[in-house]
Structure 1
Amino acid sequence: MKRPAVVIACGALIVTLAMGVRQTFGLFLPEMSAALDIGRGTFGLALAIQNLLFGLAQPFVGAIADRHGAGRVVAFGAILYALGLIGAAMASSAFSLHITFGVIVGMAQSATTFVVVLGAVGRVVPEAQRSLAFGIVTAGGSLGQFLIVPAGQMLLGDFGYQTALMVLAGTVAVAAALSVGVAGKPQPIRSDQPIGNALAEAISNRSFLLLTAGFFVCGFHIAFIATHFPAYLADKGLGTAIGGTVLALVGLFNIFGSYIFGLWGDHAPKKLLLSGLYATRGLIIVVYLLLPVSTLSSLVFAAAMGFLWLGTVPLTSGLIGQIFGVRYLSMLYGIVFLSHQVGSFFGAWMAGVLYDITGNYDAAWGASIVLAVIAALLHLPIRAVPVARLQAA
């Protein structure tokens, strides 16, 4: 078995590349929409399909990783990811964009991001340190956003979207080499529980269902802001260059947020941290919308949302491991993450459709606030105690 430090480091780097590239996609909306002569709703649908396939494939990909190890899954996913980006660069219609940017890239992301990587990490890290380890890996996704989004903005401005996508394809392909660090077939962990029993146990558990419902909101928030916030700022007269800056700032502050929430998760009730995180998101959105939109207010908003951006990941995955154990962590977290990606589908697509209908993002902002309140309430009744099977063991 590999040393935990090796698995954590390689896992964090894989997520850095995969998530960093993913967070650039909103920057491509204005130029690709114009080049392909499609509306924002149509472009948003491509990213919505991507988010949905990312989630739909996740439980199955997670189950494969639980059985055969994360290494092969990540290597295959990284190559598929690169091919999807190359295909998107060559797309000539909405249909081809939906297949490449949507279906192919979405399925590839399911094999190269949190569910598979956190499953590998969870098996080599003691339970008392697991939430912190998850926070470190999650911070890798934010580091990628901080480093790769500005690079994507520069490539887009200097060379156009086709060259930018080709370079990003080469970047994400590096994750295939890093997959060696998370390779290795998982060993059974104190349980011979059949996979069907594990599924039935989770689906019949009220806390699992509440976690699943709450994660929908996280997906909606992240996809809406990542996809449409740069365009929203351009509509408000702040130009297009600020889009890369605000997304990079989100990534920078989420490095700290992911680490800190991961650390807190080992010392405080995770469900209360999650509830407070969602409630704070809603409050920040309300304050931002009440103030005049300016460069300063937008940068402060990006920093504040960035701190809360992916702090949900170590807390949610940590709760799943705490309640059900880690034998099927990738699969069970994959099911919860599917809800996240359904939320992402609506965050990316619905906001674009509403914009095309009304000419603004007011309804999407309003939905974000209401959903934040709902998520804050959903997490309060969760019982963060091991299931009876683990207690008996």
Structure 2
Amino acid sequence: MRAALREAFGDRSYLLLHAGFFTCGFHIAFLVTHLPGEVHLCGLPPEVASWSLAIIGLANILGSLYAGACVSRYRSKYVLAIMYGSRAVLVAAYLLAPRTELTFYVFAAGLGFTWLATVPPTAAIVGKLFGVRYLATLFGMTLLSHQIGGFLGAWLGGLVIVRFGDFGWMWYADMVLATAAALINLPIREAPVTKALAPA
């Protein structure tokens, strides 16, 4: 196990995967924690937030299934790059759109489709790099990075709203991080790192 962890954390592609998944956690936790507050700031009724979160959950099912199907047909790093890039586009579109109920519902549907759709390609890349013997542990470590990003997304969102009275800086940060995540996934290698850890 120690050898597998040393091997993994010494691999550039694995570290890039961590960085991308970190931004995923940041994005998800910020939105699920502070979307109701954003709805309130826009002067819309609380049920808009409830419906938006429900739409995210429903779209997440479809997006995760679709991502799993894409992994079997396309290179996983490109699936991830498209998922992260689409988040940046969605946030930009939201910032430019009028703050209406329809805007929130369309935004929620788009975000939900990419919500946990990053999990199948991320796990697939870990498996391609190191095989399945330590897949649970090595994917679990990427999930730790995801959760650290999630903590920062929720926490910083609270700091920003207290300091500035709106979530403007968080939206911009989210857009920049999503763009960065899309780009850093492109150089990821999907070939086995070593024969010792690769699938038989």
* TM-score, normalisation: structure 2: 0.96
1:331-346 equivalent positions in 2, closer than 5 A: 331-346=137-152
**1:381 and 2:187 are equivalent in the alignment:** yes
Q: Aligned AA for 1:367?
A: A
1:363 corresponds to which residue? 169
Kindly state the Cα deviation for residue 357 of structure 1 after the two structures are TM-superposed: 0.7
2:98 corresponds to which residue? 292
* CA–CA separation in structure 2 for the residues paired with 1:303 and 1:369: 17
Deviation string, structure 1 residues 42-80 (Cα, Å, up to 9, x no partner): xxxxxxxxxxxxxxxxxxxxxxxxxxxxxxxxxxxxxxx
1:222 corresponds to which residue? 28
Deviation string, structure 1 residues 133-190 (Cα, Å, up to 9, x no partner): xxxxxxxxxxxxxxxxxxxxxxxxxxxxxxxxxxxxxxxxxxxxxxxxxxxxxxxxxx
User: 2:122 is matched with which residue: 316, 324, 327?
Assistant: 316
Gaps of 5+ in 2: none
2:53 corresponds to which residue? 247
Pair 246,200 (structure 1): closer, same or farther in 2 beyond 3 Å: same
1:282 corresponds to which residue? 88
* CA–CA separation in structure 2 for the residues paired with 1:230 and 1:288: 15
* CA–CA separation in structure 1 for the residues paired with 2:136 and 2:50: 32
1:85 corresponds to which residue? none
Percent identity over the alignment is: 46
SS at the partner of 1:237?
coil
Kindly state the Cα deviation for residue 391 of structure 1 after the two structures are TM-superposed: 5.7
1:348 corresponds to which residue? 154
Kindly state the Cα deviation for residue 369 of structure 1 after the two structures are TM-superposed: 0.4
The count of residues paired between Structure 1 and Structure 2 equals: 199
2:41 corresponds to which residue? 235
* CA–CA separation in structure 1 for the residues paired with 2:107 and 2:48: 13
Gaps of 5+ in 1: 1-194
Pair 335,287 (structure 1): closer, same or farther in 2 beyond 3 Å: same
Q: Aligned AA for 1:321?
A: G
Moved over 6 A (4+): none
* CA–CA separation in structure 2 for the residues paired with 1:299 and 1:318: 31
Tell which structure's C-alpha radius of gyration is larger: 1
* CA–CA separation in structure 2 for the residues paired with 1:230 and 1:314: 28
Kindly state the Cα deviation for residue 388 of structure 1 after the two structures are TM-superposed: 2.2
CA contact (8 A) 1:227 1:348 kept: yes
Pair 391,205 (structure 1): closer, same or farther in 2 beyond 3 Å: same
RMSD of aligned alpha carbons = 1.2
1:1-393 equivalent positions in 2, closer than 5 A: 195-389=1-195, 390=197, 393=200
Kindly state the Cα deviation for residue 392 of structure 1 after the two structures are TM-superposed: 9.2
CA contact (8 A) 2:128 2:190 kept: yes
Deviation string, structure 1 residues 302-321 (Cα, Å, up to 9, x no partner): 00111111110011011111
